[in-house]
Amino acid sequence: MVQDNMNTLVNENEEFDEETTSCSELIETVISSLEQNDSAMVNHSDQGTLWKFQYGSVEVYVQLTGETDDDLLTVWSPVLQLPAKNEAELMKKLMEMNWSGTFETCFGIFNKQIVVSSQRTVADLSAQEISRAITLVATIADDHDEALQAEFGQ
């Protein structure tokens, strides 16, 4: 499923001229192809731009701090609220999953939640990398949130 979603988005993004299309425009194109129920929202602030959209049973966040080489693209999606049942077993499971099935994403802890995340600098960032990061986070989070909540949720 992850591979199918990524192939579709990469093919859609090949039509962009990456020299003239901003990262923000590329992000919005990817989000518009993934978001459900007209759920996409955007917020502009001094810290950059933050998008939020619904994908399956998860909310996905995309933050772009700016368009310079040193700026960051961060994508994350909460999958489980902490504290959780049997946290030692949960952490072991997440570490094993990080090794074997998360590609360029990882499970981590942010704001007392287990999240799937990906982060990268904007330097040499391509349309395909933007598409892949957002698609991987959304798909992996949606594939695992309900099972993690059923097993470890309070």
* Residue-range domain boundaries for the chain: 2-152
User: Hey, what CATH class is 2-152 in?
Assistant: alpha beta
Residue 63 pLDDT more than 80? Answer: yes
The pLDDT assigned to 12 comes to 47
More confident residue, 15 or 146: 146
Token pair of 68 as six digits: 């310079």
pTM of the model: 0.86
Which stretches does DSSP call E strand in 8-112? Answer: 41-45, 48-55, 58-64, 72-81, 106-110
- 77-105 residue pLDDT tens: 999 999 999 999 999 999 999 999 899 99
